[in-house]
Amino acid sequence: MTHGSVSAFHTCHLLPPRMDIFISLSPTEMAVFLWKNLFQTTMGRILQQRRALLYNGAHEYDEELIKKKLQQFAGGSVNLSKEHSGIGILTLNNSRLMNAFTGTMMLELQERVTELENWKDGKGLIICGAGNTFCSGSDLNAVKAISNSQDGMNMCMFMQNTLTRLMRLPLISIALVQGKALGGGAELTTACDFRLMTPGSEIRFVHKHMGLVPGWGGAARLVRIVGSRAALQLLSGAHGVDPERALHLGLSEGTLSSSDETGSLEEARAWLSQYTEGPASVIQAVKKVVTAGRELPLEAALRTEKDVFGTVWGGPANLEALARRQKHK
């Protein structure tokens, strides 16, 4: 395959139904047409793979039933601001209850994740809480009302489906931890690629004190972030993890200097911007190949990497870079 060209392999299944129109195009127009078709075909295949949910009817999961149940526990909101820079700000907004997740907030989180999955210009995501604190987990008023096994298991599967999709977004994500990230709030931080903490903040897996273990996928992700020994200590000790210890464990990427809501968000934007510079198609491709490397067996990861490579090879960003012949000094 030569630089800037779409190889013969790629063209065979991409030729348009109207050959009379296609052959009237200039060579450049033909290359752009074929590249766009290749991009759409490959993206469709990758999107299809990614949207295969963790739980479905085969696992006795009834999404419509749990959605109706969660709808009964209203309050708060999950807001998304998609900025021109390609960075989205997702804010948990229930400050009266320390941003505890009500039932409707769980439903809104799923809606925001769907929105982000379809954000073509998206590159990064910062998740934070209103009122200078992150999230104190599930709304205990709702928890008490759905404490029967079936409702609890359905809520667990709903949140695992949603947080797994969040984790696999083709965006570089940060949990901006201000104040407290407790229980499900601590689990939510582990569904982000990185965590940044403000002075005095803490991440705390309080589940043991609730007679529980994490149910939103937090244990499985925590083991992959800090290792099984540290994860066992954090879950069995249920102690608060301050910024210094989080940094030491590799749970946090850094401690911000600002403690106030606006200042820390600005710092988080600046930190993330160093990784989201460049075309959205390339940043999204980078996240996709890393997700594949993290989650798939080697050969499947290699095949996904090949597919993702095919969406950017010979694309506008690649062709422009070749034309620039930049030196990486």
Interaction site with ligand LZKTLF4L (CB under 6 A): 97-98, 100, 136-141, 143, 180, 182-184, 206, 210, 212, 214-216
> Which of residues 65 and 213 has its CB atom nearest to ligand LZKTLF4L in the complex?
213
Q: Is the dihedral of CA 114, 42, 20, 1 positive or negative?
A: positive
Tally Cβ neighbours within 10 Å of residue 118: 8
Shortest distance, CB of residue 69 to ligand LZKTLF4L, whole angstroms? 14
Three-state DSSP class for residue 289: helix
> Which of residues 40 and 141 has its CB atom nearest to ligand LZKTLF4L in the complex?
141
> Which of residues 163 and 249 has its CB atom nearest to ligand LZKTLF4L in the complex?
163
Shortest distance, CB of residue 236 to ligand LZKTLF4L, whole angstroms? 16
> Which of residues 172 and 197 has its CB atom nearest to ligand LZKTLF4L in the complex?
197
Rounded Cα distance between 69 and 64, Å, is 9
Tokens for 249, please give them: 């464990």
- Show the beta-strand stretches assigned E in 172-314: 172-177, 180-182, 194-197, 202-204, 254-255
Shortest distance, CB of residue 218 to ligand LZKTLF4L, whole angstroms? 7
Three-state DSSP class for residue 179: coil
Which residues make Cβ contacts (< 8 Å) with residue 173, sequence separation at least 6?
124, 125, 126, 127, 166, 167, 191, 192, 193, 194
> Which of residues 185 and 279 has its CB atom nearest to ligand LZKTLF4L in the complex?
185
Shortest distance, CB of residue 184 to ligand LZKTLF4L, whole angstroms? 3
> Which of residues 180 and 287 has its CB atom nearest to ligand LZKTLF4L in the complex?
180
Rounded Cα distance between 220 and 211, Å, is 18
Shortest distance, CB of residue 9 to ligand LZKTLF4L, whole angstroms? 48
Shortest distance, CB of residue 75 to ligand LZKTLF4L, whole angstroms? 10
HSE-CB of 165 using CA atoms within 13 angstroms:
23
Pairing mode of beta strands 172-177, 87-93: unpaired
> Which of residues 46 and 100 has its CB atom nearest to ligand LZKTLF4L in the complex?
100
Q: State which residue has the least CB distance to ligand LZKTLF4L.
A: 137
Shortest distance, CB of residue 268 to ligand LZKTLF4L, whole angstroms? 21
Tally Cβ neighbours within 10 Å of residue 176: 30
Tokens for 161, please give them: 């489906």
Closest of 249, 214, 215, 250 to residue 235, by C-alpha: 214
